[in-house]
Amino acid sequence: MICQSKSRSCKLCGSFEQGIFSELPEKELKQLAVYRTANHYNRKQIIFYEGNPALGLFCIRSGKVKLYKSNPEGKQQILRILKEGDTIGQSSLFSNQPLQATAEAIEDSEVCFLDKTGFLLILKNNSSVALKLLRGLSQELIQAEGKALDLAYKSARVRFAELLLTFKEAFGVSEKGSQRLNISLSREELAQTVGTTVETLVRLLSEFRKDGLIEVDKRNISILEPEKLLELTSSGY
């Protein structure tokens, strides 16, 4: 069930400073609040489906969301994991296409929705927002192109090592000398993020564990030797 929570200013949002509206004057921020609705999604709830019309912009206030595409055979590939401050749906909004991926909460999350009309109105009169969006889309594009390169030329082992390092940056919390990844994904979800099968991913997990690179306890993964992981990624296999 989706619960609507009471409205409040974007300024109170955790990562407002890094967000696309950070340079917006007070007046426009109030205008924003009019077009905005905030919803709560429980773990495993779908926020939107691939193919849905793009009616506006989504912005994560708290929690974590996975964004994935499905292929004809029903297999899923996770494009990225989003956390607070991240926005979703821009690309479909601007290219006038249906939404190109499905968004699903992997933790209980609060997600704001910003109506297309209101958003475009603000965009038109505030070039700072446009520039921030251009910046964000550009970074996403560069990452996506890098990912394609990876999938074409790197082994599953290297791709998994890279994922662990990316996760360390995004979700790592220091804990008795090691960095614990504060994100809970099933083996299947990990596999879908790396672009491989569950079986291969499990074998890589135990290989890395045996080699002392990581520590694994259920769905908790800790990075013990980030440098050695980095070596892996640069040296061939």
Read off the tokens for 103. Answer: 């968004």
Q: Residue 237 Cβ, how far from DNA at the closest point, in Å?
A: 7
- The yes or no reply on residue 77 touching a second copy (CB under 8 A) is yes
Choose the contact partner of 156 out of DNA, a second copy, none; CB within 5 to 8 A by kind.
DNA
Binding span for DNA by CB under 7 A among 1-9, 175-183, 215-223, 227-235? 215-223
- The yes or no reply on residue 150 touching DNA (CB under 7 A) is no
- The yes or no reply on residue 90 touching a second copy (CB under 8 A) is yes
Binding span for DNA by CB under 7 A among 83-91, 105-113, 132-140, 197-205? 197-205
Measured CA to CA, the distance from residue 57 to residue 69 in angstroms comes to 18
Size of the site for DNA (CB under 7 A): 20
At residue 205, φ and ψ (nearest 5 deg) are -55, -50
Q: Residue 215 Cβ, how far from DNA at the closest point, in Å?
A: 12
Measured from the CB atom, the residue of 103 and 190 that comes closer to DNA is 190
Measured CA to CA, the distance from residue 109 to residue 39 in angstroms comes to 8
Choose the contact partner of 203 out of DNA, a second copy, none; CB within 5 to 8 A by kind.
DNA
> Among 35, 203, 224, 228, which residue interacts with DNA (rule: CB under 7 A)?
203
> Among 218, 227, 234, 235, which residue interacts with DNA (rule: CB under 7 A)?
218
